[in-house]
């Protein structure tokens, strides 16, 4: 057989790999892997006869036709690496190892049945077709895995060193190096020695050229269709990336840094405004927290101090801050205990949200319970101040004691990060917040301490506290054309914490 026929066969199979890969957008990579599996099977078929099956080559003695399949398998591996990326190349390499193990297991089955025929059948255990050696199989698998590491590392190293040289140059040298590695590793594992004759450099140089030229042309064609930025990512990689774990460590560090930043953000932004239980729930599953903004059904509680202007004008600033801190400490603890979120402390006002950042099915009940407990805590605080003489000083300026007014309303809000890139805060916005503020203001007009809207009243109908709400009718509120029906809390001797 003329040498050019053998080389045309190598080039044809290499072209077939490239052609099938070109259809990956429609067929995926499975056909490429199936073709490689077929080449692997024939690689062992032609290697089993005790007398090698040779082909004629230029200038040298005939050599084994196994080079047809070895060269094209190598081309498939470097093609996957160059055009599909390092991660896919690792999967390809793992798949090839599994294929070798599966093929070896099947060979064992075949050899067993050939050497253990049914009674009266011919024992065929000694024929070339079913011959099997575990040692040879291990040597072959070690050789092919080494081949792929060598071809990819040498190809990438040469391209990095000579980036302006056509891809055919590093690909050709890498193919030859890989096929030489194949012979060396197989010989060392199988026989424990090396001889110059096993390298067959002349045969591998010709097979490498025949397989490499179609592959290089295909790479060039694919890269011409790829944007420049993407090309840089494809071509410019670390030569040891395939076996180097540093990149994985970098990625892991980046992900860890993101998680740490997320942890710090949650801790800094929520630990002071929600209970430790809620913070822990968010940290366990940050996906529950949608910071980009989401529509939520919540209950809003708005409270401020009655007569705060008179109080602040008649006292030293330090005294005002002391009183506010005592008051906020008490009501803040109540809100957090009932799974609410303190969204704002502004002046003497408190804005609390029940039902964000995490779902709270009984958000209206929790808000009403918090409001009643806040009124009770304020009475307890007044008793403390009565005993230490604080209220005596207040009466001199016409203030009998601390009193608060609370408004509660339930409805939809948009909850999420509000602000600029430099400064943002988790907050709630929407008409529900505005109505709550207006309803709180109605307390002055109706001479009440706690008002809830009909939307909240309907949600707490089954609650023991709901029975203490008195209908105050519909009232106009600023900013709304529709009147709002409100219900006032009727003072009662009831322990809200037990409800």
User: What is the distance of C-alpha 451 from the center of its chain?
Assistant: 45
Asked if omega into 357 is within 30° of 0 (cis), the reply is yes
For domain 291-498, the CATH superfamily is Nucleotide cyclase, GGDEF domain (3.30.70.1230)
Mean predicted confidence (pLDDT) in 177-183: 85
> Residue 207 pLDDT more than 60?
yes
Cα separation, 135 vs 35, whole angstroms: 26
Question: Which pLDDT value is given to residue 136?
Answer: 80
Cα separation, 203 vs 191, whole angstroms: 22
DSSP label at residue 357: S
Cα separation, 265 vs 284, whole angstroms: 14
- pLDDT band for position 92 (cuts 50, 70, 90): confident
Q: What is the pLDDT of residues 247-287, one digit of tens each?
A: 555 666 677 677 666 666 666 555 555 556 666 666 666 65
Most confident of the following: 151-155, 159-163, 409-413: 409-413
Average pLDDT, the chain: 81
Mean predicted confidence (pLDDT) in 125-132: 76
Q: What is the pLDDT of residues 228-254, one digit of tens each?
A: 544 554 566 665 565 554 555 566 667
- pLDDT band for position 345 (cuts 50, 70, 90): confident
Name the more confident of 452 and 359.
452
Q: What is the pLDDT of residues 11-27, one digit of tens each?
A: 999 999 999 999 988 88
């Amino acid at each position: 057989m003329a040498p050019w026929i053998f080389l045309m066969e190598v080039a044809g199979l290499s072209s077939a790999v490239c052609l099938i890969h070109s259809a990956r957008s429609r067929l995926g990579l499975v056909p490429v892997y199936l073709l490689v599996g077929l080449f692997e099977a024939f690689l062992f078929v032609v290697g089993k006869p005790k007398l090698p099956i040779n082909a004629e080559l230029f200038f040298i003695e005939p050599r084994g036709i196994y080079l047809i399949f070895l060269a094209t398998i190598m081309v498939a591996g470097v093609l996957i690496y160059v055009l599909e990326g390092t991660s896919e190349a690792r999967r390809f390499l793992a798949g090839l190892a599994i294929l070798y193990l599966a093929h070896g297991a099947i060979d064992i089955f075949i050899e067993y049945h050939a050497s253990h025929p049914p009674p009266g059948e011919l024992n065929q255990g000694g024929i070339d077709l079913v011959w099997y050696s575990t040692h040879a199989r291990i040597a072959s698998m070690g050789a092919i895995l080494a081949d792929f590491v060598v071809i990819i590392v040498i190809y990438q190293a040469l391209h990095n060193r000579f980036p302006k040289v056509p891809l055919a140059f590093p690909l050709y040298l890498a193919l030859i190096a890989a096929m030489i590695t194949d012979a060396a590793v197989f010989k060392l594992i199988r026989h424990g020695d090396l001889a110059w004759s096993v390298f067959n450099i002349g045969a591998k140089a010709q097979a490498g050229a025949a397989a490499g030229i179609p592959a290089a042309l295909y790479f060039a064609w694919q890269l011409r269709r790829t944007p420049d930025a993407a090309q840089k990512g494809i071509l410019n990689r670390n030569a040891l990336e395939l076996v180097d774990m540093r990149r994985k460590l970098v990625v892991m560090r980046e992900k860890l840094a993101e998680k740490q930043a997320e942890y710090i953000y949650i801790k800094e932004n929520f630990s002071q405004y929600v209970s430790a239980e809620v913070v822990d729930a968010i940290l366990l599953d940050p996906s529950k927290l949608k910071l980009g903004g989401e529509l939520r059904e919540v209950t809003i509680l708005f409270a401020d101090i009655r007569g705060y202007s008179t109080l602040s004008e008649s006292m030293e600033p330090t005294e005002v801050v002391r009183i506010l801190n005592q008051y906020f400490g008490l009501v803040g603890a109540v809100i957090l205990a009932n799974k609410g979120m303190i969204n704002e402390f502004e002046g003497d006002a408190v804005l609390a949200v029940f039902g964000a950042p995490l779902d709270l099915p009984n958000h209206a009940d929790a808000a009403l319970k918090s409001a009643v407990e806040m009124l009770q805590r304020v009475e307890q605080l007044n008793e403390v101040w009565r005993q230490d003489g604080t209220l005596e000083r207040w009466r001199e300026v016409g203030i009998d004691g601390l009193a608060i007014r609370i408004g509660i309303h339930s409805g939809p809000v948009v909850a999420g990060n509000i602000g600029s890139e430099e400064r943002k805060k988790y907050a709630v916005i929407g008409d529900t917040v505005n109505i709550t503020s207006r309803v709180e203001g109605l307390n002055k007009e109706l001479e009440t301490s706690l008002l809830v809207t009909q939307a909240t009243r309907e949600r707490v109908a089954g609650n023991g506290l709901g029975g203490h709400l008195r209908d105050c009718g519909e009232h106009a509120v600023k900013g709304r054309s529709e009147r709002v029906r409100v219900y006032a809390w009727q003072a009662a001797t009831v322990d809200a914490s037990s409800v």
